[in-house]
Amino acid sequence: MSGDLNGGVSLGRPGNRQRAFLLTHLVRDGEKIRVVLEERIGNQLWVRPLDDGEMEPAEPIRVETNDIVVPFDALHSVGVNTSPIEGDASGFMTSIPIVEVRRDDVECEIWLRSLKPGEPDPPERVRAPWRYKRTFDRNSIVLDIERIDKMFPAEEDGYVPLANTTWTWMNLQQAPGMETLARYLLAAARRLDVARRCFKRVREQMDHLSSATGGPQIRAGLFEIVGQIEITVVALSRAIDMAVELNAVVPVTLLVPPSVLGARETLKDLRNAYEHVEDRAKGQVRNVPHPHALTIFNWTSLLREDAITYGDRRLKLSDIPGLLLDTRGYLRDGGAEAEFAICKAQTGNPLPGEP
């Protein structure tokens, strides 16, 4: 049966003083809510609405004569949304996990705050009794870019797409003069994400190439690999150029990783060869005959040594995952530092989450 308890039953107030009965639903604002037992503490039964996708309990909740039923909402996070319409997920930006600060059972109010940067996620969700006022004190909500980065899980190589993180971070707070930086970082992030997706495709195709049984299959796989490598090199090289030149857009104290600086010129020469392959096909560099021009069409090192070569330039495929991660880390952290600097210079206020 359904218990007809109202959502106002909470801590410190008498429960339903009748003989034991079985409870499956509670009424809140005229709506019957399916509830489940979270925990029994003495004679207090903490019950919450059934989560979306959660399996129905095997048995109803047994409420004894002296039990006090405490209906609560299990709160995990506070959402940041660009849409004023409640429930409109199209404008959802990110969520910030929250914890309880204190609770006043006389005034029926609960105070909350977001997790601090670097603070581990709590093992349980916050229990907010129904009809309690939920309060966030001033400056109690902070957000750092690492928290946004956790929206999507890392893949097997540790890479997480950067464009979504960059867009979210740059749109949380706008300040005059930030538009150029936002466009710059987002363009670099998109190029880096493209490089990573294409390189993943390269690795998948190279694994399949060894199982190809006939000439047409082998050639089709090889052409696919070379095409994806071209896009990988061009996108990665451009992203690295933008990372190295970030300091020219806005002062950044964070140093570019040595691995990124060391690979820049090799990638630039490879990129130029692929971008101007029509010139190289004629044995030329900038419309002038060049002894290295035709080496971009030699795929022997790729198949035998897992390396991309052009003249005396050489890039091992095994170095690319590290370059992707190092470039990503610099663009993310350097971009966050740059945004802090611009925001402080323009508004005098730090961004949420700044130390």
Please, which residues have CB within 8 angstroms of residue 161's CB and are 6 or more apart in sequence? 152, 193, 196
Domain ranges of the chain: 21-73, 77-144, 146-347
Distance CA(246)–CA(298), nearest Å, equals: 34
CA distances from 216 to 90, 206, 212, 341, 350 (A): 45, 15, 9, 56, 60
User: So what's the pLDDT on residue 9?
Assistant: 42
Structure tokens at 207: 């694994």
Q: What is the pTM of this model?
A: 0.80
User: So what's the pLDDT on residue 16?
Assistant: 45
b (16+ CB within 10 A) / e for 314-334: ebebebbbebbbbbbebbbeb
Calculate the CA 201 to chain-centre distance. 21
User: So what's the pLDDT on residue 171?
Assistant: 84
pLDDT in tens, the chain (355 residues): 344 444 434 333 444 445 788 999 999 989 999 999 999 999 999 999 999 999 999 899 999 989 999 999 999 998 888 877 777 778 888 888 999 999 999 999 999 999 988 888 888 999 999 999 999 999 898 888 888 888 888 888 899 999 999 999 888 866 667 888 999 999 999 999 999 999 999 999 988 877 666 788 888 888 999 999 999 999 999 999 999 999 998 889 999 999 999 999 999 999 999 999 999 999 999 999 999 999 999 999 998 999 999 999 999 999 999 999 999 999 999 998 888 777 777 655 554 444 4
Q: Do residues 114 and 101 touch, judged by C-beta distance below 8 A?
A: no
Please, which residues have CB within 8 angstroms of residue 23's CB and are 6 or more apart in sequence? 2, 3, 5, 35, 47, 60, 61, 62, 63, 69
User: So what's the pLDDT on residue 339?
Assistant: 83
Backbone angles phi, psi at 296, to 5 degrees: -70, -15
User: So what's the pLDDT on residue 213?
Assistant: 66
User: So what's the pLDDT on residue 219?
Assistant: 87
Structure tokens at 199: 């390189």
Residue tagged 């109010």 (tokens): 109
Distance CA(118)–CA(101), nearest Å, equals: 18
Distance CA(159)–CA(151), nearest Å, equals: 13
Nearest CA among 49, 6, 5, 43 for reference residue 23: 5
Structure tokens at 163: 């464009």
